Amino acid sequence: AFDLSKITYAQIPLHHWAWLTAVILVVITWAISLSMIYRHLERYDRPDVQRYVVRILFMAPLYALDALLSLTFNNVSPYINVFRDCYEAFTVYNFLKMLFELLGGERAVISLMAAKKQIKMPFPLHWTDPWVMGDEMFYNVKFGVMQYVLVIPVCALATFVSAFAGAYEGSSWYTMDLWIQIVACCSATWAIYCLVTFYMIMHEDLETVTVNPLGKFLVIKGVVFWCFFQHILLQFVLLIGYIPATQQFTAMRLVDAVEQWLICFEMVVLA
């Protein structure tokens, strides 16, 4: 007869431990996030701002749940990640709208920008002509972030379709995945640049209307952009053949599992 009492911790496979710890991390993430959401809903005295906050707070638990499902079921990431990526873009949109609302709306932000001293473009575009403070600066920043909101769902849908058609292969840069990642990387990089530019201009004003604006910027960049560039790095490690296959997992599946576990851990920190 099978006796569970004779099984030692050392006999439990590492990937089972990884899955179990991922479950615990996801539960913690959901508990923290739901607690914060409840506190906002309990004191819903600024609906113009708090509706965006609540939507943003759902990002970490949804990201963690998506990672756990990808860790649990083989080869589902290209399919279920389309929903995660769409909500990721929705989160960036809500973050930008929240900042505008905190500062009094879009016209108020333009007026605040117009009253400020002209600044140079941040590195590495410091050699280019600066955007004129006011309307030009505002709309360039806004459209720079909003293009990401549009591009990422399109990339996610393209990944879904290519995976369904059998043209997606994360371990090869000669398939459609290469072009999807290039487009997404360019879009994310430009969105980060525009957000950094906005913060450099408006950080003093934000400090008067919200607590720790820098922390909010770092969190949203961590949730959205760090995970994206982490994926790029792991795919590069896979491409150069540094991750060997095992008897149980292909190299691609192993890298995907590592990425999903890291996301489960990171969401606890960012929640």
Region 4-25: mean pLDDT is: 69
pLDDT for 165 equals 76
For 192-226, what is each residue's pLDDT tens digit? 899 999 999 999 999 998 888 888 888 877 776 78
pLDDT for 2 equals 41
Mean pLDDT of the chain: 85
Q: In the chain, count of helices (H) and strands (E)?
A: 10, 0
For 221-262, what is each residue's pLDDT tens digit? 777 678 778 888 887 887 777 777 766 677 777 888 888 899
Q: Report residue 268 as tokens.
A: 């606890």
**Contact assessment for residue 25 and residue 70, using Cβ atoms and an 8 Å cutoff:** no
**Contact assessment for residue 94 and residue 55, using Cβ atoms and an 8 Å cutoff:** yes
**Contact assessment for residue 19 and residue 74, using Cβ atoms and an 8 Å cutoff:** no
Q: Kindly report whether the peptide bond that precedes residue 78 is cis, defined as omega within 30 degrees of 0.
A: no
Region 95-118: mean pLDDT is: 94
**Contact assessment for residue 103 and residue 109, using Cβ atoms and an 8 Å cutoff:** yes
pLDDT for 257 equals 84
pLDDT for 1 equals 41
Q: What is the pTM (predicted TM-score) of this model?
A: 0.85
pLDDT for 217 equals 84
Maximum Cα–Cα distance for the chain, whole Å?
80
Q: Alpha-carbon distance 91 to 89, whole Å?
A: 5
pLDDT for 4 equals 45
pLDDT for 105 equals 93
For 112-167, what is each residue's pLDDT tens digit? 999 999 999 888 888 999 999 999 999 999 999 999 999 999 998 888 888 777 76
Q: Report residue 118 as tokens.
A: 């002209």
pLDDT for 169 equals 59
